[in-house]
Structure 1
Amino acid sequence: MDVGTGTETGTGAEVPRLEGVPLLGSLLDLKADSLGTYLEARRRHGDVVRIDAGPPGLRLQLYCVFSAEGAQRVLASESANFRKDNPFYQEIRDSFGNGLLTSQDEDYLRQRRLVQPLFTRKRVDGYAGAVAAETGATLAAWAQARDGIVDVSSEMMHLALRAVSRILFGADVDATVDVVHRCFPVITEYVLARGYSPLNVPRSWPTPGNRRAAAAMDELYGVCDRIIAERRRSAAAGQEGEEDLLTLLAGARSSDDGAFDAAELRDQVLIFLLAGHETTATSLAFALHLLARHPEEQARAREEVRRVLGDRTPEAADLDRLPYLTRVLKEAMRLYPAAPVMGRQSVAASEIDGHAIPAGSTVILAPWVTHRHPRYWSDPERFDPDRFTPEAEAGRPRYAWFPFGGGPRACIGQHFSMLESVIALAMILRAYAFDAVDTEVPLSAGITLETKGPMRCRVRRVEG
């Protein structure tokens, strides 16, 4: 029996299938270029397409939904029918813990209730100073850049990791950044390999891949557990420290939901590290890459920053005062969404855009494709921040743009991501002008959007 099919077929037309090779379907195409394969599927067959991948008996059937209306049904109006039960999410759970990104049902609701008060707009706005400080340190280091060239992909990854680690761990930031930087790529590669494989050996088997990943997880878990234990000892002794996010998480409690135990705290920390730095880093890096290739838009954004900020350090209130810079970031997230593909598993049979989705199906949403859909975006490959004026946004379906997901499981950290991105981009543009060195950057879809090479820019100090 093929993986991902159900006994209930539902009503509606049969879903058209992307043609593949007899033995492996579209497996090789997905491995070589999954983003291009999804684009081609929509171009050939429309908004709901089935893609088969793998050999008979282990074949995965992917029901791909590319319309804004279909995304809304999966993420919002029928979200209870589309769960995070697929093998890919299970691999993330097994590696990064059962935090807000991966938990479900009562676990998720309890976690969300405990965490939500820590992500109010007022609370998140208090992190602006930490973001500005880490951005300032990055800018100072660029003065020593060889030939004035920086790889904005790696630089923004480092900046975002420093910022989220500082907000999570406060004074312990240096103890965590090196470990995360070293261990996350190993674990992420392991998750991807297992998540997309039709057959995996048990994690307990002493294969080289299992041993390498286990060592990275042990080191990552160890540093988190040590810091959590130290905080709990300090709290038990009545010692007051700085109020970083870990301290707030450790103190989160209610009469109905209790509090997080040590293992649950580690799960939340790992998920915040995973979701809180790679996504923001991707948005910032591609915003800089696009501005480096479009000097007129770069100049317009810099002029707004100078006019609004002058020489002062940006703060949270400046988000509403920098509308063009915000539009630049939104357009970067349209063209290069940090989560280019999202997966769900259908519980019951349903109908989407007139097509029957069987029970138990693997359902794929692809912001990468929907964000380029010609029904919602004219000349979709063109960089145009003015697509995100209030008037333009009001004229599109809600889910024509969904880099933060949507519905009841929309990203809890989206305001933090925008705060960090606007503040960092404002400071960077005020200090430096950018020219693209690498105009074309090969990409792949991992847990987040990944570059397969450098994204270099030549930077020049801006005078005045």
Structure 2
Amino acid sequence: MAEAVRVPGLEGVPVLGSLFDLKADSLRTYERARQRHGDVVRISAGPPGLRAELYCVFSAEGAQRVLASEAANFRKDNAFYQEVRDSFGNGLLTSQDADYLRQRRLVQPLFTRKRVDGYAAAVAAETGSTLAAWAEARDGIVDVSAEMMHLALRAVSRILFGADVDATVDVVDRCFPVITDYVLRRGYSPANLPRTWPTPGNRRAATALDELYAVCDAIIAQRLGAAPHAQAEGEDLLTLLAGARGEDDATFDPAELRDQVLVFLLAGHETTATSLTFALHLLGRHPEEQARAREEVRSALGGRLPEAGDLERLPYLTRVLKEAMRLYPAAPVIGRKAVAATEIDGHTVPAGADVIVAPWVTHRHPRYWSDPERFDPDRFAPEAEAGRHRYAWFPFGGGPRACIGQHFSMLESVIALAMLLRAYEFEALDREVPVSAGITLRAEGPARCRIRRLEG
């Protein structure tokens, strides 16, 4: 085996390195790093003494090493994950080691395919509410980014909280942006003041966290105080989490329940909203593909509501969503910290290094994708997928920490998109929608579509 070599560095400015480039557009900075230096690149940012060094891994083979084959050597120990923990708790997204294994065992039975398929009716109901609200804008213009965020939040809140959905949606809608912006600022800053200091930013975040925690804690207390038969009859996910039992009769205590709820709210609505937003945006720019998807929906469903079993009858619509997730992955960057020095793609990544894999970049890598910026759902036809590296497309992560809600996300997205396309024709008015890498991929501008109601 050839001797591993030092990782090449992206050129930056004196003293501050690539700090301004990362702040201005981190995703394009990562793309430029791969184009100039290859599949493993070191990016330095910040002044001496506070400088951060990121080791970026862009190949599918490298992503597989970091997330799967050597996952134990790449941990969620970086500053960004600590900020997420401090705000959203130590749930499945952020926990590690024994805590993570215990939580995963308790939650896994609630995310079997059979159990998740039972949520289809809730998704269809919330999509129906969105369609009803659009009825007044018969030939109007909607911002599908804002609309899909609201739809996805309503759907995941209904599945989590059941009849208490209205008590949570407004609070989450108001508080989440404040908290996620706060986490991002602190997670990517070379130095932070303590959260306890009464700065304006700390106070705004603390107020939002207190309000969010209070509504979750109140609903959790109600669930835990319910009669045993009432809990057993409950169908919402929170009731099932409250009743989950593991080895040695292990359960979640109230604080742990809140941590799981916050993670499900965060991961369960922003990611699906991103997939739906850009599926509609891309279809709105490609009328032939939109017509093909709509014809499949009408042929498979007629006029009835979609059900979980219909996913197999909608293969082209599924390809549309996969292609939207390729071009706009909801988790565009995934961070880890290396425990020990590791060779990746012929380069040595040192122990203690902050490491990222970037679906945003790998999903556009010309080694795996021809004409990578082109929208082409048939990239995900079975014969095309069969010849492609498993980690050329990994919007849900991979390895032992792969997203537990992958099937739920696909179920929700296919059902909602099928109903939307059957009812409306979409014409994208914004050719490009600017995006940035937050906790999830975020649209930085509107994704406006002119919608036209379809008869029948």
Q: How does 1:151-300 map to 2 (within 5 A)?
A: 151-235=143-227, 242-256=234-248, 258-300=250-292
Give the structure 2 partner of residue 407 of structure 1: 399
8 Å Cα contact 1:234-1:240 kept in structure 2 = no
Amino acid at match of 1:110: R
Q: Quick check: 1:343 aligned with 2:340?
A: no
In structure 2, the residue corresponding to 1:63 is in which secondary structure? strand
1:159-183 Cα shifts (integer Å, max 9, x gaps): 0000000000000000000000000
Distance in structure 2 (CA, Å) of the matches to 1:257 and 1:190: 37
When structure 1 is superposed on structure 2, of 303-312 and 236-245 the one drifting more is 236-245
Asked whether the equivalents of residues 139 and 452 of structure 2 are also in contact (C-alpha less than 8 Å), the reply is no
Kept in 1: contact 2:184–2:438 (CA 8 A)? yes
Q: How does 1:254-403 map to 2 (within 5 A)?
A: 254-256=246-248, 258-403=250-395
One-letter code of the match for 2:9?
A: R
Query: For the Cα contact (< 8 Å) 1:341–1:365, is it kept in 2?
Result: yes
Alpha-carbon distance, 1:238 to partner: 5.8
Partner residue in 1 for 2:447: 455
- Is 1:419 the counterpart of 2:411? The answer is yes
Letter of the 2:255 partner, please give it: A
Contact 1:48 1:65 in 2 (8 A): yes
Correspondence list, 1:49-128, <5 A: 49-128=41-120
* Equivalent position of 1:129 in the other structure: 121
Question: Aligned to 2:167, what secondary structure does the other structure show?
Answer: helix
Deviation at 1:42, TM superposition (A): 0.2
TM-superposition CA deviations, 1:168-215 (whole Å, max 9, x none): 000000000000000000000000000000000000000000000000
Distance 1:215 1:316, change over 3 A: same
Select 1:445's aligned residue among 428, 437, 449.
437
* Whole-angstrom CA distance in 2 between matches of 1:277 and 1:233: 27
What SS does structure 1 have at the residue aligned with 2:419?
Answer: helix
Q: Secondary structure at the match of 1:150?
A: strand
Verify the 8 A CA contact 1:96 1:271 in the aligned structure 2: yes
Q: Could you tell me how far 1:233 is from its partner in structure 2? A: 1.1
Contact 2:138 2:451 in 1 (8 A): no
CA distance in 2, matches of 1:444, 1:130: 30
- Report the counterpart of residue 45 of structure 1 in structure 2: 37
Distance 1:372 1:157 in 2: 25
CA distance in 2, matches of 1:213, 1:171: 28
Determine if contact 1:345/1:362 at 8 Å carries over to the other structure. Answer: yes
Q: Figure out how many residues of one structure are paired with residues of the other and give that number.
A: 455
The answer to whether the Cα contact below 8 Å between 2:223 and 2:231 also exists between their aligned partners in 1 is no
| Inter-partner Cα distance in structure 1 for 2:405 and 2:21 | 33
- Cα displacement string for residues 44-98 of structure 1 (whole angstroms, at most 9, x for unaligned residues): 0000000001000110000000000000000000000000000000000000000
For residues 299 and 25 of structure 1, the distance between their equivalents in structure 2, rounded to whole angstroms, comes to 48
Q: In structure 2, how many angstroms separate the alpha carbons of the residues matched to 1:230 and 1:98?
A: 22
Give the conservation status (yes or no) of the 8 Å contact 1:114–1:257: no
The alignment yields a C-alpha RMSD, in angstroms, of: 1.2
Deviation at 1:242, TM superposition (A): 2.9
Q: Distance in 2 between matches of 1:93 and 1:222?
A: 18
The sequence identity of aligned pairs, in percent, is 83
Deviations 1:118-156 (A, max 9, x none): 000000000000000000000111112386100000000
Deviations 1:238-264 (A, max 9, x none): 676532100000000123361000000
**Alpha carbons of structure 1 residues 428 and 40: separation in structure 2 relative to 1, 3 Å:** same
Partner Cα distance (2:36, 2:253) in 1:
50
Q: Distance between the aligned counterparts of 1:299 and 1:45, measured in 2? A: 41
SS in 1 for 2:227: helix
Aligned equivalents of 1:82, 1:400: Cα separation in 2: 19
- Following TM superposition, by how much is the alpha carbon of 1:439 offset from its aligned partner in structure 2, in angstroms? 1.2
Alpha-carbon spacing, 1:239–1:265, altered in 2? closer, same or farther (3 Å): closer
SS at structure 1 position matched to 2:213:
helix
**Contact 2:231-2:243 within 8 A present in 1 as well:** no
Q: Distance in 2 between matches of 1:41 and 1:392?
A: 28
CA deviation map 1:424-459 (0-9, x unaligned): 000000000000111111111101111111110000
* DSSP-derived class of the 1:234 partner: coil
Q: Distance in 2 between matches of 1:137 and 1:180?
A: 19
- Give 3-state SS (helix, strand or coil) of 2:6's partner: coil
Deviation at 1:220, TM superposition (A): 0.2
Gaps of 5+ in 1: 1-10
Q: Any gaps of 5 or more consecutive residues in structure 2?
A: none
Distance 1:239 1:56, change over 3 A: closer
Separation in structure 2 between the aligned mates of residue 380 and residue 254 of structure 1, nearest angstrom: 45
The residue identity in structure 2 corresponding to 1:454 is P
Query: Does structure 2 conserve the Cα–Cα contact (< 8 Å) formed by 1:110 and 1:257?
Result: no
**Residues 356-376 of structure 1 deviation map (CA, whole Å, 9 limit, x = unaligned):** 000000001110000000000
Please report the TM-score for the alignment, with normalisation by the length of structure 2. Answer: 0.98
AA matched with 2:422: R
TM-score normalised by structure 1 residue count: 0.97
Aligned partner letter, 2:336: R
1:36–1:429 distance in 2 versus 1, CA, 3 Å: same
